[in-house]
Amino acid sequence: MHILFQINALLRFLVEMITLITVAFVGFTKYKLPLNLLMGILVPIAIYVIWSICMAPLSPNRVGLLFRIMIEIIIFGLCDYMILTKMSVRVGIVYGVVVGLNAIMAHIGDGIYGSSL
């Protein structure tokens, strides 16, 4: 069972990177100037900083479980909203399901094995 949570941790990292790339891509291509610079550059940087300070497993400032879940809902929800409204509903639904299942598995794995798999 431990290997399943390790594979999910790798998938989790890929989901995080895809989220940053998607927010930047949608921001640059689907918004007009100057909003595209904000959505394509500043929002991914803000997401990266928030994630590295508050969410990273080895961060000394890692927040508690409830705040991590709230931050995940905000970040992944923003990305899913951008996908749903600016790209494709089907892609948005698939993204939302993958992120939701991945988050559930990650939190179960954190509860069983700790945060550093």
Write the pLDDT tens digit of every residue in 20-66: 999 999 999 998 989 999 999 999 999 999 999 999 888 899 998 89
* Predicted local distance difference test score (pLDDT) of residue 57: 82
Token code pair at residue 50: 């928030």
Q: What is the pLDDT of residue 44?
A: 95
pLDDT band with cut points at 50, 70 and 90 for residue 93? very high
Number of domains in the chain: 1
Classify burial at 50, counting beta carbons within 10 Å of its beta carbon; exposed 0-12, middle 13-18, buried 19 or more. Answer: middle
What is the residue range of 56's domain?
Answer: 2-113
Distance, C-alpha 29 to centroid of its chain: 20
Contact, 80 vs 72, CB < 8 A? no
Res 116 pLDDT > 70: no
Average pLDDT, the chain: 91
Size (the chain), residues: 117
> Quick one: pLDDT at residue 109?
84
On whether the pTM is more than 0.75, the answer is: yes
Percent of the chain's residues with pLDDT above 90? 70
